[in-house]
Amino acid sequence: MNLVDQLDWSYWKRLSDKEKRTLFGQVLMYFVNPLLRITDIELKEYELYGIKCQTFELMIDDEEFVFIPGNKDAILGWNLGTKGLSLLETAPHSPHVRIPEELQNSYDLLDVHSLADYINDRTTSLRKVKIPPMFVQRFALPAGTNFLGIYDAVTGSFTGQADQFLVFEGEIREVLCPNLTPSESIRWSFPKSVLRENSWYIEMVPNSDLYHVYTHETHTYTTLRKKVRKRNFDLLTEDQWEYTNGAGSRRLFRWGNDLNTSDPYRGKKIRQMMTGLNMFGLSFDTAMERYEITEDPGVLKLTTSSLSTGLPIVDKLPLSTYYAPERTLLHEEFLKPSEYLYRKAIIVKI
């Protein structure tokens, strides 16, 4: 059995910790560019909705990555309509349901059969694919950025690559701690994000006084992909993205098929699974405010505009592993960090 065959999940999951370490060492030796700096390798186990994966997390050039074993027989896509979904919150006479006119002309979303057609039409087709082993970046980055660290807007402290942060620390402080009159102070609030093109970009961590700090370069899809490849990385294909998101499970969402977050007993657990790390230890955006780009500019994942129909399965569908936005990306379109995310990967190729 060759090295790549041993990296298939069906074989990998049967290996002992020692065998995994030996095999992983060979992967690093033969498939990772020696110019990349590898540190903090640790064997970890992740789990989501009963799917477990013991694998390695590591730092590659000071960025968090996770190794994902391959799968020669991965089943992706969705053709089950509403089968297995929780429809308890889609009462046909609910006063909170508001269906956009453009959808009313094509679907009756209060009818189960029409709703099933809508879900199938908005998700990728059922298919069997071969997924290679991959090193995948844990967090997707705003387009055109590289992560530097975390800035506390209250204390003014910074954790991360301090030498690079010092270059524009003064500018960031002025933005987040402006000189205001008493009346201006009453109306002022911390910005959600701030961009200084070709210099820096900051973005508030939800429900905190912290900001993620990034360097920024203006990029089109074409120039960003070239830069990613120049650094010995790739972008994920649609198949690879869907697999790293949901592990090929026959569920519409990576955490299962339940969207009843208002349930007093299970709602908290569902919200934690939605926003937490998945079965591979990866994090995916749940704000539904940005697309994540893939290797194909014609294929985007997630969304920038969510619906508010009052039907959870419709409003949250863009969070589905298999959701297929109708939006496409032009090669020379400039990518705003507030609208697009990208995720680097190293694909283990034969």
Residues 6 or more apart whose CB falls under 8 angstroms from that of 176 comprise: 151, 153, 190, 191, 202, 211
pLDDT over 60 (residue 94): no
How confident is the model at residue 100, as a pLDDT?
Answer: 84
Region 41-55: mean pLDDT is 96
- What is the predicted pLDDT for the residue at 1? 67
Residue whose tokens read 């990518």: 335
> Residue 210 has which token pair?
């912290």
Percent of the chain residues topping a pLDDT of 70 = 97
pLDDT at 187: 87
CB atoms within 10 A of CB 170: 9
Residue 90 has pLDDT above 60, yes or no: no
CA–CA gap between residue 146 and residue 204 (Å, rounded): 16
Per residue in 177-201, pLDDT (tens digit) is 998 888 888 888 999 999 999 999 9
- Whether the predicted pLDDT of 164 surpasses 90: yes
Which three-class secondary structure state does DSSP give residue 40?
strand
The amino acid that residue 298 corresponds to is G
User: pLDDT tens for residues 124-140?
Assistant: 999 999 999 999 999 99
- Answer whether 7's CB lies under 8 Å from 70's CB: yes
CA distance 248 to 262: 27
- What confidence score (pLDDT) does residue 266 get? 82
Residue 41, pLDDT score: 98
Average pLDDT over residues 320-348: 95
Distance between CA atoms of 217 and 199, rounded to whole angstroms?
7
- Give the pLDDT mean for 256-271: 84
Position 92 pLDDT exceeds 80: no
Q: Is the pLDDT of residue 257 over 70?
A: yes
In single-letter form, the type of residue at position 274 comes to M
Please give the radius of gyration of the chain, using alpha carbons only, rounded to the nearest integer.
22
> Can you tell me the distance from the alpha carbon of 58 to that of 196, in angstroms, rounded to the nearest whole number?
31
What is the CA 261 to chain-centroid distance, rounded? 20
Mean pLDDT of the chain: 93
Q: What is the pLDDT of residues 55-67, one digit of tens each?
A: 999 999 999 999 9
Of 234, 230, 232, 235, whose CA–CA distance to 34 is shortest? 232
**pLDDT tier for residue 243 given thresholds of 50, 70 and 90:** very high
Q: What pTM value is reported for the model?
A: 0.94
Which tens digits make up the pLDDT trace of 337-348? 999 999 999 999
Least confident of 196-210, 239-253, 295-309: 295-309
Position 219 pLDDT exceeds 60: yes
Average pLDDT over every residue of 320-336: 94
The whole-number average pLDDT for the span 140-161 is 96
pLDDT surpassing 50 at residue 311: yes
Please give the pLDDT value at position 93: 44
With CA atoms as reference, report the closest residue to 334 among 223, 182, 192, 253.
Answer: 223
Three-class SS state of 38: strand
Res 134: pLDDT: 97
